[in-house]
Amino acid sequence: MNGFYVITNRSKKDAAKEAEFIRQYLEERGCTCCVQSECGHTHSDSMRYTDASAIPKEVECIIALGGDGTLLHASRDLVDTSLPLLGVNLGTLGYLAEIEHTNIAPTLDRLIADDFFIEDRMMLQGTVVTASGEKVQDIALNDIVISRHGRLRVVDFNVYVDDVFLCSYRADGIIVSTPTGSTGYSLSAGGPIVSPDASLILLTPLAPHTLISRTIVLPENVVVSVEIGNVRAEEEGGAEASFDGDTFLVPENGGRIVISRSDKKTHFIRMNHTSFVENLREKLGP
Determine contact, residues 172/206, Cβ cutoff 8 Å. Answer: yes
Give the type of residue at 25: Y
Give the type of residue at 7: I
- Are 226 and 135 members of one domain? yes
Query: Tell me: the pLDDT tens digits for 230-265?
Result: 655 445 556 889 999 887 887 777 788 999 999 999
CATH of residue 64 = 3.40.50.10330
- Are 142 and 101 members of one domain? no
DSSP letter assigned to residue 233: T
Determine contact, residues 153/182, Cβ cutoff 8 Å. Answer: no
Verdict on whether the full-model pTM lies above 0.95:
no
Determine contact, residues 9/67, Cβ cutoff 8 Å. Answer: yes
Domain that holds residue 188: 123-263
Query: Tell me: the pLDDT tens digits for 46-81?
Result: 456 788 988 999 999 999 998 888 899 999 999 999
Dist CA 277 CA 256 (whole Å): 37
- Are 178 and 230 members of one domain? yes
Residues with Cβ < 8 Å from 185, sequence gap 6 or more? 142, 143, 145, 175, 177
- Are 52 and 95 members of one domain? yes
Annotated catalytic residues are 68
Query: Tell me: the pLDDT tens digits for 14-23?
Result: 888 999 999 9
Q: Which helix (H) or strand (E) holds 128?
A: strand 117-129
- Are 112 and 190 members of one domain? no
Burial class (CB in 10 A: 0-12, 13-18, 19+), 82: exposed
- Are 275 and 257 members of one domain? no
- Are 93 and 71 members of one domain? yes
- Are 156 and 236 members of one domain? yes
